């Protein structure tokens, strides 16, 4: 069992319903031309589940010490329920960005279940303009802001032609045993917005510029940070 650091344990101790200590990101994508929505979404969920089931910290849960004396630790969750952690939602018509913000705000307001691995991933369809979103939240005791950015970098590259093998935990290596590459197709896809939110949604990362990238899904993306 890997013990938590004093700082990470402090995040758990300080957390309350009024002050959650999870971090989150919202990514909005445009479907590739010719992609059938339902099979496309099913493949994303399936591939992400395959990765999460074998890769820390997504397959780890908290283990409290006897009599609650000492620091808690991380143990592998042998019975992880991916159907609980990976969820599929749809916005009602007309599928506006305002509706997406309201849904994500509601999803972000709830605490993570400490009897399970401390993360959730939500695929949200129904955004107008053939768009969909991925909203992901994870406890700060599992990963920090820098680690989150490294995780995103690990599943994307700066070249549409590049082949990467990176674990979703944020490391990158051609021979990483934990590597699980998303490979669903070869259609163009536009990454139309990225925002990294603090636990209160009080701030967001704002960057300008466009550049091609490649993800484990196998499609060339274009960053369009807002």
Catalytic-residue membership of 140:
yes
SS3 191: strand
Enter the DSSP assignment of 180.
-
**Measured CA angle at 153 (ends 152, 156), to 5 deg:** 90
Residue whose entry in the numeric block shows the structure tokens 């991933």: 121
Q: Round to the nearest angstrom and report the end-to-end CA distance of the chain.
A: 41
Distances (CA, A) of 190 to 57, 64, 181, 221: 28, 43, 19, 5
CA distance 134 to 159: 22
Active-site choice (22, 108, 139, 140): 140
Just list the catalytic residues: 140
């Amino acid at each position: 069992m890997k013990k938590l650091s004093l700082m990470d344990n402090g995040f758990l101790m300080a957390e309350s319903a009024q002050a959650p200590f999870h971090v989150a990101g919202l990514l909005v994508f445009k479907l590739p031309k010719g992609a059938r929505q339902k099979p496309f979404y099913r493949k994303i969920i399936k591939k992400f589940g395959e990765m999460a089931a074998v890769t820390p910290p997504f397959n780890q849960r908290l283990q409290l010490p006897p009599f609650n004396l000492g620091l808690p630790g991380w143990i592998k969750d042998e019975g992880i329920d991916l159907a609980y952690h990976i969820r599929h939602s749809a916005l009602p018509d007309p599928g506006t960005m305002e509706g997406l913000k309201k849904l994500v705000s509601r999803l972000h307001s709830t605490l993570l279940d400490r009897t399970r691995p401390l993360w959730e991933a939500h695929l949200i369809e129904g955004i107008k303009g053939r768009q969909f979103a991925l909203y992901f939240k994870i406890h700060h005791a599992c990963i920090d802001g820098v680690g989150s950015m490294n995780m995103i970098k690990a599943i994307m590259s700066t070249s549409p032609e590049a082949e990467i093998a990176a674990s979703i935990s944020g490391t990158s290596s051609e021979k990483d045993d934990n590597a699980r590459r998303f490979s669903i197709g070869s259609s163009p896809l536009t990454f139309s917005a990225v925002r990294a939110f603090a636990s209160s949604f009080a701030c967001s990362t704002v960057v300008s510029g466009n550049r091609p990238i490649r993800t484990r899904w196998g499609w060339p993306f274009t960053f369009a940070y807002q």
